[in-house]
Amino acid sequence: MSSGHMLLDTSVLSAARGRKPEATVRHFLLSLPRGSIAIPAYSVFEFERGARLLQQHDQQRAAQLLSWLDDLLATDIFVPPVTTDIWRLYARMSLVPALRKFWIHNGDPPSLRFGCDPGVAAISIHYRMPIATRDVGDYMLINGYFPLPGLYDPHLRKWFVDPAPTWRTALQEDPSDHLAMH
């Protein structure tokens, strides 16, 4: 059964932040029913890590990103707990040869990666939350091995994996009365 939340991938959160969020992403966020936004802990990791790396080169932008993240986490946005069942699913994903690119970068020399997209997918599957992302290709690859409960690109305004019927209806409502992200 669906949790009633839409899981926002880091790419959607990135497009929504700042002084000029992308119009299509903003419209999408406004179209979501109040209280339905969820963000994965992996996105918190990616933003925190990115901001800390940015501190080495641009302390002002890093401080703005960290402040934005603090403000986001102070809202009522749901961050689904990462359970042992999710970690077990994530481990199974790491063993699929076609998904290897999420953990190993084949550069010279090869290096380890963090594999956040499979982690987001595992949360989505466990909690039956559709994912909103701009990185459709990566999630479609995962979906080929671990079916997702829905995959939506708010920039293209297109479902790539059909969700529960209630989500199609929810995204067609008038967004003027819903939660906006700042």
Q: Is residue 174 part of a domain?
A: no
The pLDDT > 70 percentage for the chain reads 86
What 3-state class would DSSP assign to 111?
Answer: strand
Domain annotation covers residue 112: yes
Q: Residue 147: name the closest of 132, 156, 160 by CA.
A: 160
Has residue 178 been placed in a domain? Answer: no
Note whether residue 142 is domain-resident. Answer: yes
The rounded distance, in Å, linking the Cα atoms of 181 and 164 is 24
Whether 90 shows a pLDDT value over 90: the answer reads yes
Residue 34 has pLDDT above 70, yes or no: yes
Asked, for residue 59, whether it belongs to a domain, the answer is yes
The stretch 142-170 carries a mean pLDDT of: 88
pLDDT in tens, 112-148: 667 789 999 999 999 999 999 999 999 999 999 999 9
**Where residue 153 sits, what CATH number does that domain have?**
3.40.50.1010
Residue 76: predicted pLDDT: 83
Q: What's the predicted TM-score (pTM) here?
A: 0.84
Q: Looking at the 3D structure of the chain, how many domains does it have?
A: 1
Identify whether 52 is part of a domain. yes
- Whether residue 13 lies inside any domain: the answer is yes
Which tens digits make up the pLDDT trace of 96-108? 999 988 877 777 7
